[in-house]
Structure 1
Amino acid sequence: MPETITSEQRQAYDTALDFAEGQVAALVVNHPDYFPIYTVEGKWRHPGELWTDWTGGFLAGMMWRFQQRTGSAAWQERAEHYSKLLEHRQHDRNVHDLGFIFLNTYRPWYQLTGDPQLQEVLIQAGRTLAMRFQEKGQYLRSFVAPESLFIDIMMNVPIIFYAGQEANDPALLAVALAHCDTTARTIVRPDGSTAHEGIFDLETGEFLRQTTHQGLRDDSAWARGLAWSLYGYSQVYGFTQDAQHLEIAERNARYWIDHLPADNVPYWDFDADLTLPPPRGAQKDSSAGAIAASGLLDLARQTESPDKAAEYQRVALAMLDALVSPAYLAASDAGWEGILKHGVYHTDKNLGVDESVMWGEFFFVEALTKAVMAR
């Protein structure tokens, strides 16, 4: 970390983390063995559809972050229990999100205990995700269709790198590298923005077009997708030490920083018409800010430029300062079950819009933990 946080920031971040612990503790009492995705009017028991079941690792992952910060045996016990509930998904071929599920749960568990059975689960999850690879096109298909590549998968491909390195499996590493290269070529744009989805010809493997499910337009810059790319390529660089991967993450960071609003919390799409009301207009997405803040803190340690490192940390902490304020932290909202307000799941489907969303909770907690535990 280029510089330490101030005493005022440390106090605010620790207070926010204490609040987060209380909210998660209440969640597991009020909704035991339940993995929510988004709130409805601040309540986790939502009646709406899931779209896809991809967020279990974030709830258990927060428990592991709490354990890391506090050393609490109680949080370790909860984290192990909720992680174990996800173990069967190491064989789940219906989602492209096994990195989200297992890197945030079984990896910290294995790092803490060294239990080889936990390592086996991680490696199997990586092998399962690699089964989504499309030889024609050289990409990991999304959950929606074989011709579809999502920018979100950049946050999941690291589990294939992990499995490939730990199992000494060159075939897995080749799949992971190919996916990163294809994503960079097709849906990461020269200016550092990203498309949500790429569509391929299944017969030839030819890339056809950029599209979106969650952004404003096919050619817009959906904020959460850009955060996935920034953080994802930073993680990939941690495995490969390939300067091309670092360059992409820094290109994403440049676009993010140059287009971030003055209040340091992004709108749901960087191209949203701010003269229009939410949800398609001036709707903030605190979850995208939390993801990017955590990614930028990592990128600050990875970049070879001291000036960039200082900028990445400054912007990351400015975003966290905004998110711990009463405008976003739910501490003063009696009855609100989430931690971080004003997140967005799926605008077009009207799922979790202006609510707490589980990935927003996790990456907020993760970023704050990185900031307060940095040495």
Structure 2
Amino acid sequence: MNAAANPYFASRTIPRARTIHQKALERVVARLEEMMPVIGLRNPKIGGEGNAWHFCNPGDWVISFHSGQLWLAYQLTGKESFRNAAQARRPDFRYILEHRKVRDHDLGFQFSLHSVADWQMTGDAEARGMALEAAKMLLARFREEGGYIQAWNPTGTVDRERAAYVNGRMIADCIQNLALLYWAHRETAIEDFRLVADMHADTSRRYLVREDGTSFHTYLFDPASGKPLKGQTHQGYRDGSCWSRGQAWLLHGFAQCYATTRNPEDLETARMLAAATERLMGETSVPVWDFSVPETEPRPLDSSAGAILSAGLYILASVCEGAEAERWRALADRLLDGLLDQCDLTTVPGAQGLLAHGAAHVRAGQSDAMLPYGDYYFMEALMRSLGHTRFFW
């Protein structure tokens, strides 16, 4: 069935900008379908030469973003091919549950966009069980002494320097993983899931978000006492800078937390982050990889940050009213249209992904590439711009 002919794709009167977003969403779905025999059961990790994917090793944190796109495409079209391709990846996620050393704080990313999505879309009991098992494993990473979920894995005898670096550390990315805990609470009524998610969100608010609405990427605590020590960066320009994707993770995460919890502190934090982002973006429409990089230095764009910010701003607009809702929607539109103007690969024949100019880890030499998380949030932002409300968070 042609996407444009599918009743899921739509049909209310929408402004011209929405029509552009609708057509872009249809191109996204067409690209996903076109690439199914090319990608097969592999999971995209990062783009390479010729807009072709390099693929994940087992347990990679980005393993679920292609699955998430397939589930959204199934929701939009009802095509069994999308469902089958997503479900066929189940062994990859069973591997994570069975291998301790590949599990970390990103269990929420991995299982929300695969197993929770499967359960919500199909009612598959095995998928639900896998997601609950993952939620219990994420819960076990909570550090009571500091009130946060431990980032990365501070264990092992091979790389003691790395183990020492990560021990006692929280990161901005983890706010996105709380959705798995909130979902598990709704499914089971076990209070620990909700309480730990609430406590991690509160610690993130106090230590990752600065008074001016900018953010640290990471925060370090004394591993034994939980005493807060200092804010730092891992992928940003410097410790005191504002890494754009970290800002995006937090904005989307706190907006989604508020949509779930209705905790007014979550809403106020999302507003602070949004206002700072609006100020930092200036007149631009695609963020640079770190908002603090001087004009005299290379400033590669990060389309993934733009996609995450846009999707998060649409969530924020949906929980606000009046002029404030219009303010955040206008900023979300600007970011999404910036991606369509400067980064869109859906009109480029043969491109295996959706967005160019993603910055995975600039200081490690990984920039100007397709990224599967950029692609996922681009699709989510397009759908949110058109009024879709059913997602897997």
Normalising to structure 1: TM-score of the pair? 0.90
The whole-number CA distance in structure 2 between the counterparts of 1:44 and 1:52 is 21
Q: Secondary structure at the match of 1:193?
A: coil
CA contact (8 A) 2:346 2:354 kept: yes
CA distance in 2, matches of 1:324, 1:252: 23
What SS is found at the alignment partner of 2:364?
coil
User: 1:110 and 2:119 equivalent?
Assistant: yes
Q: What is the aligned partner in structure 2 of residue 119 from structure 1?
A: 128
Q: CA deviation at 1:275?
A: 2.5
Counterpart among 316, 341, 362 of residue 376 in structure 2: 362
Q: 1:298-337 to 2 correspondence within 5 Å?
A: 298-303=315-320, 305-325=321-341, 327-337=342-352
Q: For residues 241-297 of structure 1, what are the alpha-carbon distances to aligned partners after superposition, in whole Å with 9 as ceiling and x for unaligned?
A: 110111111111111112114231111111111232xxxx22111110100111111
1:68 is the counterpart of 2:75? yes
The 2-side partners of 1:83 and 1:96 are apart by 20
- 8 Å CA contact retained: 1:234, 1:298: yes
Aligned position for 1:188: 209
Shift of 1:24: 2.7
**Residues 124 and 163 in structure 1, CA contact (< 8 A), matched pair in contact too:** no
Aligned residue number for residue 286 of structure 2: 265
The one-letter amino acid of 2:60's match is: D
Q: Which residue of 2 aligns with 1:12?
A: 20
User: How big is the alpha-carbon RMSD for the aligned residues of Structure 1 and Structure 2?
Assistant: 2.3
SS at match of 2:363: coil
Q: How many pairs were matched up?
A: 364
Q: C-alpha distance in 2, partners of 1:189/1:360?
A: 25
User: What's 2:156 paired with?
Assistant: none
Unaligned stretches of 5+ residues in structure 1: none
- Counterpart amino acid of residue 299 in structure 1: L
Q: Bigger shift: 100-109 or 202-211?
A: 100-109
1:90 Cα deviation from its structure 2 partner: 4.2
Cα deviation digits, residues 32-54 of structure 1 (max 9, x gap): 2111211123444439x979811
Q: Give the corresponding residue for 2:84.
A: 77
1:25 corresponds to:
33
Q: Is the 8 A contact 2:143 2:150 kept in 1?
A: yes
- Mark the CA change 1:199 to 1:79 in structure 2 (over 3 Å): closer, same or farther: same
Quick check: 1:19–1:339 contact (8 Å CA) kept in 2? no
**How far is the alpha carbon of 1:87 from its aligned partner?**
3.7
d(CA) in 1 for partners of 2:15 and 2:181? 39
Structure 2: stretches of 5+ with no match in the other structure: 1-11, 154-165
Question: Partners in 2 of 1:302 and 1:92 — Cα distance?
Answer: 39
SS, match of residue 355 in structure 1: coil
Distance (Å, rounded) in 1 between the aligned partners of 2:252 and 2:83: 26
- Residues 1:339 and 2:354 are matched in the alignment: yes
**Counterpart position of 2:171:** 150
- Of all paired residues, the percent bearing the same amino acid is 30
1:285 maps to 2:306: no
Q: Is 2:302 the partner of 1:294?
A: no
Structure 1 distance, partners of 2:210, 2:50, is 36
- Quickly say closer, same or farther: Cα 1:308–1:204, change in 2 above 3 A: same
Report the CA distance between 1:163 and its aligned residue: 1.1
Indicate the structure whose relative CO is greater, using CA pairs within 8 Å and at least 6 residues apart: 1
Q: CA deviation at 1:335?
A: 4.0
Contact 1:220 1:269 in 2 (8 A): yes
Partner of 2:157: none
Distance of 2:198 and 2:132 partners within structure 1: 17
Q: Could you say which residue in structure 2 is the equivalent of 1:348?
A: 363
Q: Distance in 2 between matches of 1:92 and 1:212?
A: 29
Give per-residue Cα distances to partners, 1:55-85, cap 9 Å, x unaligned.
1211010011112222222222222223554
TM-score, normalised with respect to structure 2: 0.86
